[in-house]
Structure 1
């Protein structure tokens, strides 16, 4: 056993591993070690990666959560062939009724479940549903997804799918037990440049992938402090008492797919660092001086402005993921892919480069024409018409339905939902322990070594029509 591993075992046995900051003096005296090692749990009872559930000719959907994200999903699904929107659920009757009005003039006439905190359970228990689409506050994602899978329903869960490592394992274990899909709705995997670079990577354009970068840099201070934006200010409360990368999947997901994480490579460990808070605390104090509504938020412990998390994979690749939703910066998810032969970067403008130079416009267009994947050729133009963050939301929904109707494995399985979501609590642990490294659990429990990469060729599918304009 190595000196590092010996020391790690010593820390665990003496209880110092759980002391975090208190153990900082001891930890800093020797080699860098992992303070908090999340456990891997047993052996997999069934491998959901690559699993093809039985075909569903008409996918019957029930939606839970019709506030910020849910109504758009309801409308988008109404444009897809082979879908029946059977039920809509929200705690607030007004929200459910408003969502139903979006379906006026369509063939869909869903039943509404609302008015009680357990209305979603009644919907799942009562209706004949194939898919539960969850767009609720983060705390409810896992309880709802687990309940739905245990009831024999596939689940699609907004990001992040889970908030704690235990919740991540609960999703994995439930999906394996029930053989029900649990897809996290990471829409950024279906944006046009991300799909282009994924196909370029599949075709070897970048050579060996060396490094990737992603981010969620989006000034949301005003929105998070808006009394009318999120019920009970839940999104603002998520930024209190949690210091780490709270929303990492938008930047991380596309990079993981390009690197075949969970499918040929796996995350090994991470280290994370946060700045102090320079924005949310001052905003809370300023608002509370003018409005007593904000008094409870005046002296809250807000997360730092910028979090930077670095990840090392088992095959030696590196990933950087950043999170900043409280600085006055232009929007960016970075999306940088660096290989031994080429590089691509999305923000502030889409670029592809080799050597010391970026491709010129003509060269870029030639690459784009050659490597545009089938899904974009099939529904890309219609996706832009239907909308949803420029069309990526629609391509995500269309792809989900097409896979379910054709009995195909999903592009994002439960292991992706768990792993990408786990970066948040793991980054919090690292930040709290002076940015010491933290081991990343292997939710596939070894299957990553043989799991096949994501297939975006539409082989066996692609036959689901779009009803837009009909």
Structure 2
């Protein structure tokens, strides 16, 4: 079990040693999707590193932010960055007084470099291929979300991690948000009773960005109709439910609205002769999916980046004894000893969250919250995510999130597309752990 002592996290000791052999040596064994002939990577610790040398693929908006946060993480050095395009953002964001990394043009130069870990922060459709190359070059790899965009890619990432004995981590920063880590503590303490239902989303008005700085992301709206970006909401809720560690995702149904938002935006804001006026969009403005787990729980999963809707990840969890709902954060916990049987039925008032926060604030936030907020990066989440990766590698501990988490949380992308195309028909979610989900192996701290 992870340590509950904030001082342990400050010292890098909020970690989980594990008796399984570490992944310091290469092995080459074959595997299939149906049955494992290689040993699982679930619960396998890193070989201990005195210092972690890191390479980065992509220094755009996301990659340059990761680089700036990593510069503040003790025990790590960003040694090399591959960015064939503009390096302006990296130059702007790099902290003063920190040794600058070598910047090269090709991913191959990073694969060949003397680094222990490679971060992938490139457009989505390149994630899986670059992660596969990194593992085959003998490097651990941490991949921006989603880690793959097809089920075949996700299986190949799982198989290759097992074959090479290299970890493939999903960089789901939202699992390290202050509220998310607090709710994780609450769920593990049984505060909500038996968990029944979760709510997760990525709701973020990106219309202007899609036409200004993210053409590759707008292009997705011309290709597929489904949930393009499931993991920011799903990852934390999966953590609350112990997905892959006592429960697993089993199936998904998905439906989309019509597509109107991008057409209206370009009509209002682009010149009539702009070539983007001719693009044909197929993705619905809102996609809503429902996932089921082996234990019979449900998860509402929604995606909307088109439309004037305030930012929201829902971040909800419902149990037999209470619930938490985010945006804004609120809680209700039923006290069986104080139930008024004569009161009007069905009336529940939200309670003051602060007493619960004082009791359930995650020790990682207690120890590192100030440093995380100072570093910035999505309210400290990016810093804590990178800090945990480095801490685990230095201590020879298991990763917080592994290739099986990355595959399960990314799978709703292609499977929602398949479900929408089939008129909302259920789609089975593969068991990427090949049965290991039934064992309690370490995960989020």
TM-score w.r.t. structure 2 length? 0.87
* Distance (whole Å) between structure 2 residues aligned to residue 444 and residue 331 of structure 1: 33
Partner of 2:166: 180
Partner of 1:48: 41
Asked if 2 retains the 8 angstrom alpha-carbon contact of 1:344 and 1:351, the reply is: yes
Partner of 2:320: 340
Kindly state the Cα deviation for residue 262 of structure 1 after the two structures are TM-superposed. 0.7
Do residues 121 (structure 1) and 108 (structure 2) align?
yes
Q: Structure 2 stretches of 5 or more lacking a match?
A: 1-31, 335-346
Kindly state the Cα deviation for residue 332 of structure 1 after the two structures are TM-superposed. 0.5
Asked if 2 retains the 8 angstrom alpha-carbon contact of 1:100 and 1:110, the reply is: no
- Once the two structures are superposed, the pairs formed by residues 348-427 of structure 1 within 5 Å of their partners are 349-355=328-334, 356-361=347-352, 364-427=353-416
* Distance (whole Å) between structure 2 residues aligned to residue 342 and residue 44 of structure 1: 43
Q: Structure 1 stretches of 5 or more lacking a match?
A: 1-38, 457-470
Kindly state the Cα deviation for residue 159 of structure 1 after the two structures are TM-superposed. 0.7
- Once the two structures are superposed, the pairs formed by residues 200-349 of structure 1 within 5 Å of their partners are 200-226=186-212, 229-230=213-214, 233-285=215-267, 289-297=271-279, 300-347=280-327, 349=328
Give the secondary-structure state (helix, strand or coil) at the position aligned to 1:424: helix
Residues 1:67 and 1:55: Cα distance change in structure 2 (over 3 Å): same
Kindly state the Cα deviation for residue 296 of structure 1 after the two structures are TM-superposed. 4.3
Give the secondary-structure state (helix, strand or coil) at the position aligned to 2:55: strand
Residues 1:102 and 1:306: Cα distance change in structure 2 (over 3 Å): closer
Do residues 63 (structure 1) and 63 (structure 2) align?
no
Residues 1:445 and 1:369: Cα distance change in structure 2 (over 3 Å): same
* Distance (whole Å) between structure 2 residues aligned to residue 342 and residue 288 of structure 1: 48
Q: Aligned-residue CA RMSD in angstroms?
A: 1.7
Asked if 2 retains the 8 angstrom alpha-carbon contact of 1:47 and 1:176, the reply is: yes
Partner of 1:76: 69
Asked if 1 retains the 8 angstrom alpha-carbon contact of 2:244 and 2:404, the reply is: yes
* Distance (whole Å) between structure 2 residues aligned to residue 196 and residue 432 of structure 1: 38
Kindly state the Cα deviation for residue 452 of structure 1 after the two structures are TM-superposed. 2.2
Asked if 2 retains the 8 angstrom alpha-carbon contact of 1:44 and 1:445, the reply is: no
Give the secondary-structure state (helix, strand or coil) at the position aligned to 1:320: strand
Asked if 2 retains the 8 angstrom alpha-carbon contact of 1:271 and 1:430, the reply is: yes
Deviation string, structure 1 residues 113-151 (Cα, Å, up to 9, x no partner)? 12xxxx1112211x1001111110011111111100111
Give the secondary-structure state (helix, strand or coil) at the position aligned to 1:334: coil
Residues 1:66 and 1:257: Cα distance change in structure 2 (over 3 Å): same
Residues 1:455 and 1:105: Cα distance change in structure 2 (over 3 Å): closer
Asked if 1 retains the 8 angstrom alpha-carbon contact of 2:71 and 2:95, the reply is: no
Q: What is the total number of aligned residue pairs between the two structures?
A: 402
Kindly state the Cα deviation for residue 288 of structure 1 after the two structures are TM-superposed. 5.8
Do residues 142 (structure 1) and 143 (structure 2) align?
no
Asked if 2 retains the 8 angstrom alpha-carbon contact of 1:58 and 1:83, the reply is: yes
Give the secondary-structure state (helix, strand or coil) at the position aligned to 2:411: helix
TM-score w.r.t. structure 1 length? 0.82
Give the secondary-structure state (helix, strand or coil) at the position aligned to 1:428: helix
* Distance (whole Å) between structure 2 residues aligned to residue 67 and residue 50 of structure 1: 33
* Distance (whole Å) between structure 1 residues aligned to residue 38 and residue 259 of structure 2: 43
- Once the two structures are superposed, the pairs formed by residues 22-41 of structure 1 within 5 Å of their partners are 40-41=33-34
Partner of 2:417: 428
Partner of 1:9: none
Partner of 1:170: 156
Partner of 2:182: 196
Give the secondary-structure state (helix, strand or coil) at the position aligned to 1:401: helix
* Distance (whole Å) between structure 2 residues aligned to residue 103 and residue 175 of structure 1: 31
Deviation string, structure 1 residues 254-284 (Cα, Å, up to 9, x no partner)? 0101111111101111100101112113334
Residues 1:155 and 1:286: Cα distance change in structure 2 (over 3 Å): same
Kindly state the Cα deviation for residue 295 of structure 1 after the two structures are TM-superposed. 4.1
Asked if 1 retains the 8 angstrom alpha-carbon contact of 2:233 and 2:301, the reply is: yes
Asked if 2 retains the 8 angstrom alpha-carbon contact of 1:287 and 1:294, the reply is: no
